[in-house]
A and B are shown apart, each in its own frame.
Chain A
Amino acid sequence: MANMAQAVRMALHYGEKHLGVTDIFGEDVGPPLGGVFTCTQGLKTTWNTPLDERGIIGAAMGLALAGQKPVAEIQFSDYIFNTIDLLKLAGNSNWASNGQYPLNMTVMTPSGAGIHGSLYHSHSFDAWASRLAGWKVVTPSTPRDAYGLMLSAIQDPNPVLVMVPKALMRVKGEELIPGEPPDEKDLKERIDAPIGDARKGWEPRWPDLEFAPTPIGEAKVVREGNNATVVTYSRHVLLAKVVADRLAYEGLGEVEVIDLRTIYPYDWAAISKSVVKTGRVLFLNEDTEITNFGEHLLRRTIEEHYYQLRARPRLLAGAHVPGVGLAPPLEEASVPQERDIERELRALLTELT
């Protein structure tokens, strides 16, 4: 099975071959490296930029204004912060121009902790991104959805931010991407650039991939359950499933896990349906907890489902600290871990109504 980096790469290949992508660019995105996570190896339209995040977002906006179809990368979401007013401008271009200038542009960026990334390779951006009206914001938890969401992002007439969980870049999927060779060695030989001198003159042999978008705005129930709901996204989907399986094995109850997949426009119908069913809900993500996106969902849950709740709804998020520390105990203390999820779910499942 493809890992997430390979899935992104295949989606970008599909994009430049079939969907009119004109430019895939960012720091170290083009040859020889093909991206610090290898997401852009072997593609036709890649190029390297100056080390200038504002220039990257600005160039994407300009290319989109001129009818091109750019995919820009910010190497780590930790470095997207100094582009925030350009992101706001990209988000208001169509609105401010009363419909004259929609921007068909995609920005992808690795985000979140989990790779011992210290202060500036561990940031999340989902809460900030959720405030960028005019943008659609997606974040896959599987290679299949990384492929599908990237295709949707490329096709969408609006700016779309694709946040790829960096801790999952090398995690393989459980579902084949349509057109992906079933033999993982075969895939690797076809599309992973060789190391060293062999890279010179190397050409990928792309599989015959299919158009298989994951719709923006649709959550996915990745584990069904009747006793409690976890609404999460990105790498915490995997952690939530592990904990849910463990608690089910213990006989504590069946937890439904919803992979939101889209931050905006988020799938309220899916959340609402599950909350009504279980009456118990935990919102889980790793961005810092004060003014967290999960807080918004929690507020709506209280406003719209107060009388259907059987236990107080909860948010488990990152601690409000200036950074994620390098030493493992520091990171583990500030970003939700399995043990934290388990603690919250045990309490949620056992709270008396």
Chain B
Amino acid sequence: MSETSRIPAQPFKDKNFCLAYHRHMVRARALEERLIKMMRSGDGYFWIGGPGEEAFAVALGLQVRKGRGVAYDYLHLHYRSNPIVLTMGEPMLSFIRQMKSTSADPFSGGRNFVAHICKSDWNVVPVTSTIETQFAVAPGTAMAQRRARLKGEPSGVTVVIGGDAGTAEGDFASSLIWSTRPGSELPILLITTNNRYGISTPAETQHGEKNVADRARAFGITAQTVDGNSPEKIWAALETAFDTIRSTGKPYFLEVMVSRLHGHSSSSGAARTLDELCCIDSFEKKLLKSGWITEKEIEAVKATAYQEAQEAHEKVKSETYPDGSTFQDHTYAGNVRGGVPGRDF
């Protein structure tokens, strides 16, 4: 992270920034590929994630203001958001622990699927398997931030991310309505990552709208459809979006066109798809062309990242599941344990 903690004015003209960006992307891919390997080798029951979304994820992970409370950005993430939180600085080990559902899983204590991240220190609220519900919830954190903003207190923005298929749910419409109530517009960045599929169903067989972004425009929200495979383009789009929201307090919409390189999830085999563009390959071609990196150096970056993932995997192999007796813990905060009154507590 240290290499990218100070962002240059023109980042993609800066060799060190680009090389660091590349390393983030490669690490994210190495993590996802290791998670898929874990699922196949029995060190996890299910895999879902974001290989193919790295160019977008790294840009977001580097631009978000992380911290706890309304002064920082709130993140209502999708189940393809591992690369974002990895880029923000979460160790690979955390994701690998969640994959193996060990008691040390810092996101859910072995309770939830991989990529169902939760980290209150960084305002990452629980990722849910339910589709698009995060779009109904996100306006609430944005309202709290708007309130702080109106009082002149430090305030972040709310970021909510979901897929294109999920926009068919009513909660997507709710987010547009609730973000644009006249006089109460919200500081919220609404993001649809569009990979053109809902599991196996192509979007063009279900969606008549040309762009998802058009639906946001109908509410007066500034909206862009952007190539999420291009680090430069998605970086600039996110920068504009964050700047606009932070300066105006108004909502902004991004439709990010991304690839889905390992299918929907392990339910469809998670095999590598070869007919979609890989943002890492294309970025490497640019870096090679500019002479900022050599094939050998790329191999070294990859070897380091894949070794990091493998070592993390080795480490969790000896870790244990949570004890079964803890299954009711945290059902309630406070003095009720959960379960049957008079029997369990």
Whether the Cβ atoms of B74 and A98 lie closer than 8 Å is no
Shortest Cβ distance from residue A203 to the other chain B in the assembled complex, whole angstroms:
22
Q: Within residues 291 to 345 of chain B, which ones have a CB less than 8 A from any CB in chain A?
A: 329-334, 336, 338, 340-343, 345
Interface residues contributed by chain B, number (CB under 8 Å): 50
Q: Does B26 contact A (CB under 8 A)?
A: no
Chain B's closest residue to A47 (CB) is B184
Tell me, in angstroms, the Cα distance from A136 to B337 when the chains sit together.
12
Whether the Cβ atoms of B178 and A52 lie closer than 8 Å is yes
Interface residue from B108, B139, B329 paired with A55 (Cβ < 8 Å): B139
Residues of A within 8 A of B343 (CB): 268
Whether A99 contacts B330 in the complex (CB less than 8 A), given A58-B171, A67-B144, comes out as yes
Interface residues contributed by chain A, number (CB under 8 Å): 47
Residues of A within 8 A of B57 (CB): none
Tell me, in angstroms, the Cα distance from A101 to B69 when the chains sit together.
12
Q: Within residues 269 to 312 of chain A, which ones have a CB less than 8 A from any CB in chain B?
A: 269, 272, 300
Tell me, in angstroms, the Cα distance from A139 to B322 when the chains sit together.
36
Tell me, in angstroms, the Cα distance from A67 to B342 when the chains sit together.
32
Chain A's closest residue to B174 (CB) is A55
Q: Does A337 contact B (CB under 8 A)?
A: no
Whether the Cβ atoms of A89 and B332 lie closer than 8 Å is no
Q: Does B151 contact A (CB under 8 A)?
A: no
Residues of B within 8 A of A50 (CB): 174, 177-178, 181
Whether the Cβ atoms of B177 and A60 lie closer than 8 Å is no
Q: Does B170 contact A (CB under 8 A)?
A: yes
Tell me, in angstroms, the Cα distance from A60 to B332 when the chains sit together.
18
Shortest Cβ distance from residue A51 to the other chain B in the assembled complex, whole angstroms:
10
| B19-54 interface bits toward A, Cβ cutoff 8 Å, 1 = contact, 0 = none | 000000000000000000000000000000000000
Tell me, in angstroms, the Cα distance from A181 to B126 when the chains sit together.
46
Whether A55 contacts B341 in the complex (CB less than 8 A), given A62-B137, A100-B119, A101-B118, comes out as no
Q: Does B142 contact A (CB under 8 A)?
A: yes
Tell me, in angstroms, the Cα distance from A335 to B267 when the chains sit together.
46
Q: Does A156 contact B (CB under 8 A)?
A: yes
Whether A157 contacts B334 in the complex (CB less than 8 A), given A59-B139, A66-B141, comes out as yes
Whether the Cβ atoms of B336 and A96 lie closer than 8 Å is no
Whether the Cβ atoms of B336 and A217 lie closer than 8 Å is yes
Q: Does A133 contact B (CB under 8 A)?
A: yes
Residues of A within 8 A of B158 (CB): 62
Shortest Cβ distance from residue B18 to the other chain A in the assembled complex, whole angstroms:
35
Residues of B within 8 A of A23 (CB): 143
| B173-199 interface bits toward A, Cβ cutoff 8 Å, 1 = contact, 0 = none | 010011001000000000000000000
Shortest Cβ distance from residue A79 to the other chain B in the assembled complex, whole angstroms:
14
Tell me, in angstroms, the Cα distance from A109 to B54 when the chains sit together.
44
Whether the Cβ atoms of A136 and B330 lie closer than 8 Å is no
- Known contacts A52-B177, A63-B141; 7 additional CB pairs below 8 A are A59-B139, A64-B140, A96-B128, A97-B126, A134-B332, A158-B336, A300-B340
Binding site for B on A (CB under 8 A): 22-23, 50, 52, 54-55, 57-68, 70, 85-86, 89, 93-102, 133-134, 136, 156-158, 217, 264-269, 272, 300
A-B contact pairs, 11 of them (CB 8 A): A57-B136, A59-B143, A60-B140, A62-B144, A63-B143, A65-B141, A68-B143, A96-B128, A97-B108, A97-B330, A268-B342
